[in-house]
């Protein structure tokens, strides 16, 4: 079991009083599994990723990643990719990707060499020295994902990584991410507001309730590596999407 959450509750203090983001949430993720999280806005999806990563602590319940329940222990196993790419404008694409290794204490030359190995696989060859403003939205997301992968953590937490992209680029990036993850033995928790994206990219999709969030239903995703256009237009996929949308309502 890579991630185990039992009865998690998370509250925040606000000027209007206590806000409960999650309540009684229970979720398990197998090692190597991809699970998607969908739910209404404000239901605690991003908060859940922060709890898994050890950036926040639950007020009640338990959270373990590879058996570690402490925040520091969970953080050692998790790499979080936020919705915004967070690329540093003064660093090249290669140096942005290498940042994860540098922060882990690796020498800059070695970190850059490790990042360069990914650029060909990620469709970034030739853009190593480009600054973020010179890259398209999809390319910036690839650089950000390379940085996340180079952190070397077994659990990847992806928070709406394609939300800022146009529909065509988003579809292309979904296919690219599906192929890329097929070559990586990582556990993935993907937060998205796009039900179709979650079902296409993930083995399972957990549908959360409105705030305070808890798991309402699970829906099986599409087989990994399937052609996207053929998959999302198939009767089986359409039926699964309808079930997920009904659970959301």
Mean pLDDT of the chain: 94
Query: What integer pLDDT is reported at residue 184 of this predicted model?
Result: 83
Closest CA to 37 of 50, 18, 55: 50
Query: What integer pLDDT is reported at residue 107 of this predicted model?
Result: 93
125 within a domain of the structure (yes/no): no
Over residues 157-174, the mean pLDDT reads 91
CA dist 87 → 7, 83, 95, 125, 215 (Å): 35, 12, 10, 18, 33
Q: What is the CA radius of gyration of the chain?
A: 18
Tokens of 44: 């605690």
121 within a domain of the structure (yes/no): no
* Residue owning tokens 């009083």: 17
Over residues 78-86, the mean pLDDT reads 91
**Cβ atoms of residues 215 and 208 within 8 Å:** yes
Give the pLDDT band of residue 83 (cuts 50, 70, 90): confident
Q: How many domains does the structure of the chain reveal?
A: 1
197 within a domain of the structure (yes/no): yes
117 within a domain of the structure (yes/no): no
As beta bridge partners, residue 38 has 207
Percent of the chain topping pLDDT 70:
100
**C-alpha span between 193 and 181 (Å, rounded):** 20
**Cβ atoms of residues 7 and 27 within 8 Å:** no
pLDDT at 15 over 90: no
118 within a domain of the structure (yes/no): no
Give the pLDDT band of residue 164 (cuts 50, 70, 90): confident
Range of the domain at 160: 3-86+153-248
- Sorted by sequence, the CB contacts under 8 Å of residue 187 that are 6+ apart come out as 2, 3, 29, 30, 31, 32, 33, 34, 154, 155, 156
CATH code, domain carrying 66:
3.40.50.300
7 within a domain of the structure (yes/no): yes
131 within a domain of the structure (yes/no): no
pTM of the model: 0.94
SS3 per-residue string spanning 39-75: CCCCCCHHHHHHHHHCCCCCCEEEEEECCECCHHHHH
| pLDDT tens digits, one per residue of 173-219 | 999 999 999 888 899 999 999 999 999 999 999 999 999 999 999 99
Query: What integer pLDDT is reported at residue 63 of this predicted model?
Result: 97
Over residues 149-165, the mean pLDDT reads 93
Over residues 72-95, the mean pLDDT reads 94
76 within a domain of the structure (yes/no): yes
**C-alpha span between 152 and 135 (Å, rounded):** 25
| pLDDT tens digits, one per residue of 219-233 | 999 988 888 999 999
**Cβ atoms of residues 11 and 21 within 8 Å:** yes
* Residue owning tokens 């950036």: 55
């Amino acid at each position: 079991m890579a991630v185990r959450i039992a009865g998690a509750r998370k509250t925040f203090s606000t000027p209007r009083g206590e806000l409960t983001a999650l309540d009684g949430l229970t979720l398990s993720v197998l090692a190597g599994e991809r699970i998607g999280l969908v739910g209404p806005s404000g239901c605690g999806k991003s908060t859940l990723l922060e709890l898994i990563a050890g950036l926040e602590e639950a007020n009640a319940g338990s959270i373990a990643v590879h058996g570690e329940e402490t925040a520091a222990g969970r953080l050692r196993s998790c790499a979080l990719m936020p919705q915004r790419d967070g690329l540093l404008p003064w660093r090249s694409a290669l140096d942005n990707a290498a940042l994860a290794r540098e922060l882990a204490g690796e020498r800059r030359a070695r970190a850059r060499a490790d990042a360069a190995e990914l650029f060909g696989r990620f469709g970034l060859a030739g853009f190593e020295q480009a600054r973020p403003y010179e890259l398209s939205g999809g390319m910036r997301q690839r650089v950000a994902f390379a940085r996340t992968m180079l952190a070397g953590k077994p659990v990847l937490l992806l928070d709406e990584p394609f939300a800022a992209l146009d529909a065509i680029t988003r579809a292309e990036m979904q296919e690219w991410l599906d192929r890329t993850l097929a070559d990586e033995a990582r556990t993935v928790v993907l937060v998205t507001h796009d039900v179709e994206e979650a079902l296409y990219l993930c083995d399972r999709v957990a549908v959360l309730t409105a705030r305070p969030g808890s798991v309402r239903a699970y829906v099986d995703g599409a087989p990994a590596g399937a052609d996207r256009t053929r998959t999302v237009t198939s009767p089986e996929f359409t039926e699964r999407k309808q079930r997920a949308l009904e659970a959301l309502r």
